[in-house]
Structure 1
Amino acid sequence: MNIKKRCGKIGCKALIGIKETYCSQHKNYNHKRYEQIRTSTEEGRAYKRFYDTKEWKSLRYQAMLRDGFICVCCGKEAKVCDHIIPTKVRWDLRLDINNTQSLCFECHNKKTKQDKIKYNL
């Protein structure tokens, strides 16, 4: 029996062997390096600390519950609670439930790309 799992790169749907971590397309992806870069500045560490707080985790759950754990864009199962206006643009709205939405990984990745262009992030 050949057991498969999904590639460890968020959003990738490729199936790989159970003992592998990433598919051939993402085999050079280094999540630990990404985290090092992301938290190398005080601003990055502040964002990381925020997403580890009880307040955010509680708000995230409430928002996901409100949306029925369904992506508001496509109707698939939601995995991410997204800030509609990014926290890098409006930090003061980070705990406003009206500034959150439930998204699947694919829709979240698309929105993130759009936000980078829209807000010049």
Structure 2
Amino acid sequence: MHREYGRARRGFDTELGFYQSARWRNTRAAVLRDNPLCCRCQAKGLLQPAKVVDHIVPVKLGGERFERANLQSLCVPCHNAKTASETAFLRNQAPF
């Protein structure tokens, strides 16, 4: 079910080209090679392999796409939790 949702969402994602670009794939591979463990889990004393490269400051909010200082390795559960909290925050930012 989650896989199907992801496929459907990506079909409408304007950033799809970016995440499929050779430059992003190379950057992602380098980040995971240099930091193979989830940084959030490590902060809790856990060793969990990272599967996702996350923008610390989301691109939508002005984060740099390829700046290594704005990228972190996360496991899928930590990435999902971070994304959910960012989404909730953005929803609560009602225009005045």
Range into which the TM-score falls when normalised by the shorter chain: 0.7 to 0.9
Residue 109 to residue 34, structure 1, CA distance change in 2 (3 Å): closer
State the partner residue of 1:80.
Answer: 52
SS in 2 for 1:101: strand
1:60 to 12, 23, 28: 28
- Identity, in percent, stands at 30
Q: Secondary structure at the match of 2:15?
A: helix
Question: What secondary structure is seen at the aligned counterpart in 1 of 2:59?
Answer: coil
| Structure 2 unmatched runs, 5+ | 42-46
Distance 2:24 2:67 in 1: 10
Compute the RMSD of aligned alpha carbons.
2.1
Structure 1 CA distance for aligned equivalents of residues 2 and 81 of structure 2: 21
1:70 aligns to what SS in structure 2? coil
CA contact (8 A) 1:89 1:119 kept: no
Deviation of residue 111 (structure 1)?
A: 0.6
Which protein is richer in helix relative to its size? Answer: 2
Higher relative contact order (CA 8 A, sep 6+): 2
Q: C-alpha displacement at 1:81, in angstroms? A: 0.7
Misfit runs of 4+, over 4 Å: none
- C-alpha change, 1:118 and 1:98, in structure 2 (3 Å) is same
1:86 shift after superposition: 1.3
